[in-house]
Amino acid sequence: MSLPAAYKTGQELDHYRIDAPVAESGMASIFRATDLRDGRQVAIKIPHFAMESDPALFDRFKREEDIGAALDHPNVMRIFSGDERSRVYMVMEWVNGRLLRQVLSQERKLSPERAIAITLHILKALDYIHKHGVVHRDLKPENIMIDDHDGIKLIDFGIASKEGAKRLTYAGFTQALGSPDYISPEQVKGKRGDARSDLYSIGVMLYEMLSGRTPFSGPSPLAVMNDRLINHPLPPREAEPSISPQLQEVLYRALERDPRNRYPSAHAFALDLEHLDQVGVAERSELMDWKNRRSILSQKVLYYTALALLPFLLFLVMLLLARHR
């Protein structure tokens, strides 16, 4: 990975020494660095100059820092603020480990016991941030760090929302929607999403950890997002027979299309995972309906057919009314 021209390995930025590049996106670069005051390793996120000149993106960057600095939980990456700085950048806790995405790429799927244990750690982090009025809105394996003991750190609050804060919107900033494989149905429809949207994303990740695949698919990101609006996923036990009926029921509750039917909180979700033997298994139509695959095209055909038939139906109603006079 090449460093931006202004920052080289060994260079100092205030009282931090740049040690190595870690990641780079269209908006910022992240480096591993050392705090020269105490030798502590940190991660530094430096926005690109183009981002600093865009008021909307710059506000989003500052929002991420403000949200992160207010959180303090062992399963949430800390963000440090308060230093005098020569330019805008974010200082974050350095987290050792692998991204959940790397774990899944190497192992494809995890045992139910391990997947549940990791999910419970994530739900603890979610319970904490939700109680502090924060919704992550972009939960995915790329934003979960796993240590050698399967402990987790929730990272990247780049598109998180804070209760009571003004809503930030961006023309052309498609990432604000979340990630196609993990985004909730209400976010697909353009709604802001709430804590239950995060729980939906956790349901997708748990399904993936257990089965080695995400529940919805398609030839493009748009098709993937639309698939969850009109189709049911392959039943988890069809994808992975080691999934118990009770665990399958938990997945269905997390993946309900209507957020009102999902778990009401991370705590409720965790409670079922901790007590699977007490989970009642519902008779779900999804166990059969998943085979009836529909497409957006078929929806459009039905829509326009209904429009075409509407005048005829109105004529029949008027005719019936006339005969009954």
Residue at a domain's end among 42, 61, 93? 93
- Please, which pLDDT band fits residue 173 given cuts at 50, 70 and 90? very low
* Residue 305 domain-assigned (yes or no): no
Q: Do 202 and 256 fall within a single domain?
A: yes
Annotated catalytic residue, options 35, 66, 127, 138: 138
My answer on whether 82 and 157 are in the same domain is no
Average pLDDT for 222-251: 93
For the segment 38-66, the average pLDDT, to the nearest whole number, is: 86
The residue-averaged pLDDT of 245-250 equals 98
Label residue 81 by pLDDT band (50, 70, 90): confident
Q: 59-63, 76-80, 278-282, 310-314: which has the minimum mean pLDDT?
A: 310-314
Residue 47 belongs to some domain of the structure: yes
In a domain? residue 76: yes
pLDDT digits 0-9 by tens, 90-142: 999 999 999 999 999 999 999 999 999 999 999 999 999 999 999 999 999 99
The pLDDT of residue 139 is 96
178/82 same-domain check: no
For position 198, which CATH number holds?
1.10.510.10
Same domain, 116 and 147: yes
Q: Which range has the worst mean pLDDT, 95-99, 188-192, 250-254?
A: 188-192
- From CA 120, how far away is CA 274, in angstroms rounded? 8
Q: Which of 53, 76, 93 delimits the end of a domain?
A: 93
Mean pLDDT calculated for residue range 270-275: 98
- 222: how many CB neighbours lie within 10 A of its CB? 12
**CATH code of residue 31:** 3.30.200.20
User: Is 70 part of a structural domain of the chain?
Assistant: yes
Residue 309 has pLDDT above 50, yes or no: no
Do the domain assignments include residue 207?
A: yes
Question: Do 276 and 177 belong together in one domain?
Answer: yes
Residue 302 has a pLDDT of 43
Least confident span in 62-71, 259-268, 274-283: 62-71
Question: Residue 164's pLDDT band (boundaries 50, 70, 90)?
Answer: low
Domain co-membership, 110 together with 250 = yes
Q: Quote the CA–CA distance of 93 and 78 in Å, as a whole number.
A: 5
In a domain, 321, yes or no: no
What is residue 123's predicted lDDT score, i.e. its pLDDT? Answer: 98
- Residue 319 domain-assigned? no
Q: Residue 324's pLDDT is what? A: 57
**Annotation marks residue 35 as catalytic:** no
Residue 190: pLDDT over 50: yes
pLDDT for 165 beyond 80: no
Domain count, the chain: 2
Q: 215 pLDDT exceeds 60? A: yes
Which has more pLDDT, 322 or 239?
239
Specify whether 88 is located in the same domain as 108.
no
Per-residue pLDDT at 305: 41
Return the pLDDT at 288: 87
Q: At 97, is the secondary structure helix, strand, or coil?
A: coil
> Please, what is the average pLDDT of the chain?
86
Between 26 and 131, the higher pLDDT residue: 131
**Co-location of 197 and 58 in the same domain:** no
Q: How would you label 265-294 residue by residue, b for 16+ Cβ within 10 Å and e otherwise? A: bbeebbebbeeeeebeeeeeeeeeebeeee
Helix axes 195-211, 112-131, angle to 10 degrees: 170
Domain of 208?
98-294
pLDDT of residue 307: 47
Q: Is the pLDDT of residue 76 over 50?
A: yes
Q: Are 158 and 64 in contact (CB under 8 A)?
A: yes
Query: Is a pLDDT exceeding 80 seen at residue 178?
Result: no
- Contact predicate 100/118, CB 8 Å: yes
Same domain as 114, residue 88: no
Clarify whether residues 129 and 35 are in a common domain.
Answer: no
Tell me: do 118 and 82 sit in the same domain.
Answer: no
Is the residue at 315 inside a domain? no
Token digits for 101?
Answer: 């995405």
- Please state the pTM of the whole predicted model: 0.83
Same domain, 148 and 47: no
The last residue of one of the domains, among 70, 93, 116, is 93
